[in-house]
Chain A
């Protein structure tokens, strides 16, 4: 999944625009890779295309990733219950007029939101200068907020979800990530 060359939901062009936008929201600087290099576009594509995987890419498994000992089990994602699938399909795909998804009214899904939001950023988004990119991102504050929060998840979440490529997000910010089953000693907790 990380670094995939064939997106699950986004088109290749949308994927490129997503990466460029991620670099404006999380810019590359000395010591901190940008959103593009961190794999934010793969993360967002993995979320929008979560139901193209079986089991769907909603909740990574447990209890351990293998990075701090134990067997690597995050990669085996959870099966969803019928209601959990209803919730996550509605969130991602929208309610699409289906009564079982509209018990409190219609829901606009993230897929539609991204398709329209990335479309509004423009096919040339990755070619225009930074000021113009900022202007276009600021034109739709609600989409920018959604995108930014999910970009942050992609930059600093567990890599099994498709982002945080090579753990570069955690390394940059001196965050050790998941540490079970090793944990920390009492001295590591109490000392400076």
Chain B
């Protein structure tokens, strides 16, 4: 039961934990990173080369849970309302990979920044009934140098000025954008004709060799797969840097069961975990970094009763409400080539007079949707299981109405924070370690529904202008009362999950302080997207990495980063 004393024990090895490991080891700290999943990312021995486990294999990644978590071993449960009974179902609920590298492993790496208004939604746009819209405890200008640092560390390809709505930035992206997918060439041209402002998505995928890793070769097995040639920077780049210091000990297949407190109950002294043989082990540390993601981090705190004097642990769960505008084209689009999404536009996050009028008709002061991802369809097994068996199967597979002829706009719609949306512990379902499964209780606010209703027809118009023969609109999670859940399932299909350990300046209305320390146990620091007070309409990863850099520099007594607006790129 004896482990070496370390400066920090980090729970989770995704973008949040890997960034913490990188920043802390660079500052001279020793860290242990505990990851419940297996290691498929890189050798943990010098020179930390790729393991070669990742491949262009639809069965392995999309049908057989290669990156975990296996829903049999680690079920999650889901319901919409408290009145639904204990759960509507058990299984895969917003599962992100459980493996060394975490959620960063499978993402196609779109890494946009937030805008200034996203940090002050309450003061700039105002409250919304039935939600707790809040300002963040700091502003964009303070975040800018951390965004720059994050983009450089991960390696983000993009172009300053391409998005007219983007905030000021102190430098150019470290790489130019990669290849435009053919479908997005069509949809961006159409969107521009209709007055929108699409731009090459800032993406953590190398467009040129960077940081000792090669340029992306456009294999197409991108979102939901790992990268076989490690052209994706997140989280292999920070983790490798941490390992190279010799002060980072990554332990895969290590499942944390408890955060251990000292006799005062106000200070963590380490963690207890089950090792790969299910044998209990402990690591003692001066600081515990909680980086399990916005589903698992609150689940762990609730299981061990830590950090919850506010009663808010797990609350304000937010996903992005996805509106999918799917369009069929009379020719092949070969979306299996290249990255999964190459373009975005932000226009639908900007309230204007028309959208405010529509909002008022629906008893809302305003609404915002989110980034619109210009993307293509999937792979052959995915297409085939959604076609009917029998006579039509083979005819349709020859034509490929979905895989090769569909384009989709996916709107990552802002999800306003509701105190009733939450992660808690399922009263009956357990994981293979014998611990209570996490349960999501999650229902949409009218804000999300009205925003979708307003913007979806506009996006269908863009698709028709791009040459689509027909369009349909789908939502995830499905809108209650609008029929069966369909291909995307009952729970939210968005892999963006936020909230659950709300950051704020008042310990009675938040769980962590502005440096992401638990109010109750300040040497426990959460570096994942649990701390987000609001969800905005942007993917969370770059912001959580920037926040992790900020919080961990503070931990290590390094001076805050500064940037100079006069050097705007």
Of listed A29, A149, A180, residue having the most chain B CB within 10 A: A180
Asked whether A173 lies within 8 Å of B397 as measured between CB atoms, the reply is: yes
Q: How far is the CB of A192 from chain B (nearest CB, A)?
A: 6
Asked whether A103 lies within 8 Å of B219 as measured between CB atoms, the reply is: no
Residues of A within 8 A of B90 (CB): 104
> Which parts of A21-56 form the interface with B (CB within 8 Å)?
24-29, 31-32, 34
Interface of B is mostly: loop
Spot the interface stretch: B108-116, B317-325, B357-365, B428-436: B428-436
Residues of A within 8 A of B63 (CB): 153, 157
Quick one: CB contact mask for B328-339 with A, threshold 8 Å, 1 for yes?
A: 000110101110
> Which parts of A160-192 form the interface with B (CB within 8 Å)?
161, 169-170, 172-186, 188-192
- CB of A136 closer than 8 Å to a CB of B: no
- CB of A9 closer than 8 Å to a CB of B: no
Whole-angstrom CA separation of A182 from B220 in the bound complex: 11
- CB of B38 closer than 8 Å to a CB of A: yes
- CB of B562 closer than 8 Å to a CB of A: no
Asked whether A176 lies within 8 Å of B336 as measured between CB atoms, the reply is: yes
- CB of B483 closer than 8 Å to a CB of A: no
Indicate which residue in B180, B277, B379 contacts A190 across the interface (CB closer than 8 Å). B180
Whole-angstrom CA separation of A63 from B214 in the bound complex: 15
Indicate which residue in B59, B72, B276 contacts A158 across the interface (CB closer than 8 Å). B59
Residues of A within 8 A of B66 (CB): 59
Q: How far is the CB of B88 from chain A (nearest CB, A)?
A: 16
Residues of B within 8 A of A62 (CB): 52-55, 57, 228
Residues of B within 8 A of A60 (CB): 55, 57, 59-60
Residues of B within 8 A of A155 (CB): 384
Q: How far is the CB of A74 from chain B (nearest CB, A)?
A: 7
Indicate which residue in A32, A59, A152 contacts B398 across the interface (CB closer than 8 Å). A32
Indicate which residue in A84, A104, A188 contacts B337 across the interface (CB closer than 8 Å). A188
Whole-angstrom CA separation of A168 from B45 in the bound complex: 41
Asked whether A81 lies within 8 Å of B276 as measured between CB atoms, the reply is: yes
Asked whether A180 lies within 8 Å of B52 as measured between CB atoms, the reply is: no
Q: Given the known A-B contacts A28-B394, A148-B389, A179-B220, are A83 and B73 also in contact in the complex, defined by CB atoms under 8 Å?
A: yes
Q: How far is the CB of A47 from chain B (nearest CB, A)?
A: 9
Of listed B58, B180, B338, B380, residue having the most chain A CB within 10 A: B380
Question: CB-nearest residue of chain B relative to A33?
Answer: B394
Residues of B within 8 A of A148 (CB): 385, 389
Indicate which residue in A24, A91, A181 contacts B217 across the interface (CB closer than 8 Å). A181
Q: Given the known A-B contacts A27-B394, A28-B394, A153-B63, are A189 and B55 also in contact in the complex, defined by CB atoms under 8 Å?
A: no
Q: How far is the CB of B489 from chain A (nearest CB, A)?
A: 15
Whole-angstrom CA separation of A95 from B59 in the bound complex: 24
Asked whether B397 lies within 8 Å of A172 as measured between CB atoms, the reply is: yes
B: contact size bracket: 35 or more
Residues of A within 8 A of B229 (CB): 63, 180-181
> Which parts of B121-153 form the interface with A (CB within 8 Å)?
none
- CB of A61 closer than 8 Å to a CB of B: yes
- CB of B519 closer than 8 Å to a CB of A: no
Q: How far is the CB of B254 from chain A (nearest CB, A)?
A: 12
- CB of B561 closer than 8 Å to a CB of A: no
Quick one: CB contact mask for A1-31 with B, threshold 8 Å, 1 for yes?
A: 0000000000000000000000011111101
Whole-angstrom CA separation of A151 from B381 in the bound complex: 9
- CB of B450 closer than 8 Å to a CB of A: no
Asked whether B228 lies within 8 Å of A64 as measured between CB atoms, the reply is: yes
Quick one: CB contact mask for B364-392 with A, threshold 8 Å, 1 for yes?
A: 00000000000000011100110001110
- CB of B182 closer than 8 Å to a CB of A: yes
Indicate which residue in B228, B338, B385, B431 contacts A181 across the interface (CB closer than 8 Å). B228
- CB of B400 closer than 8 Å to a CB of A: yes
Asked whether B390 lies within 8 Å of A180 as measured between CB atoms, the reply is: no
- CB of A78 closer than 8 Å to a CB of B: yes
- CB of B350 closer than 8 Å to a CB of A: no
Whole-angstrom CA separation of A50 from B56 in the bound complex: 21
Asked whether B228 lies within 8 Å of A158 as measured between CB atoms, the reply is: no
Residues of B within 8 A of A90 (CB): 72
- CB of A156 closer than 8 Å to a CB of B: yes
Asked whether B54 lies within 8 Å of A63 as measured between CB atoms, the reply is: yes
Of listed A34, A63, A82, A172, residue having the most chain B CB within 10 A: A63
Nearest first, the 8 A-B pairs at minimum CB distance are A183-B217, A178-B56, A62-B55, A189-B338, A156-B380, A186-B179, A152-B384, A25-B389
Sample 23 A-B pairs with CB under 8 A, ordered by A number. A26-B393, A27-B390, A29-B394, A34-B394, A62-B53, A62-B228, A63-B50, A81-B253, A83-B73, A155-B384, A161-B59, A172-B398, A173-B380, A173-B397, A174-B404, A175-B403, A178-B57, A178-B219, A180-B229, A183-B219, A184-B218, A188-B337, A192-B182
Beyond the given pairs A27-B390, A191-B182, 12 more chain A to chain B contacts, judged by CB atoms under 8 angstroms and listed by A's residue number, are A25-B393, A63-B52, A64-B228, A157-B58, A158-B60, A176-B336, A179-B219, A183-B218, A184-B219, A184-B337, A188-B334, A188-B337
Which residues of B are at the interface with A, using a C-beta cutoff of 8 A? Answer: 38, 50, 52-60, 63-66, 70, 72-73, 75, 90, 178-182, 185, 216-221, 228-229, 253, 276-277, 331-332, 334, 336-338, 379-381, 384-385, 389-391, 393-395, 397-398, 400, 403-404, 429-432, 434
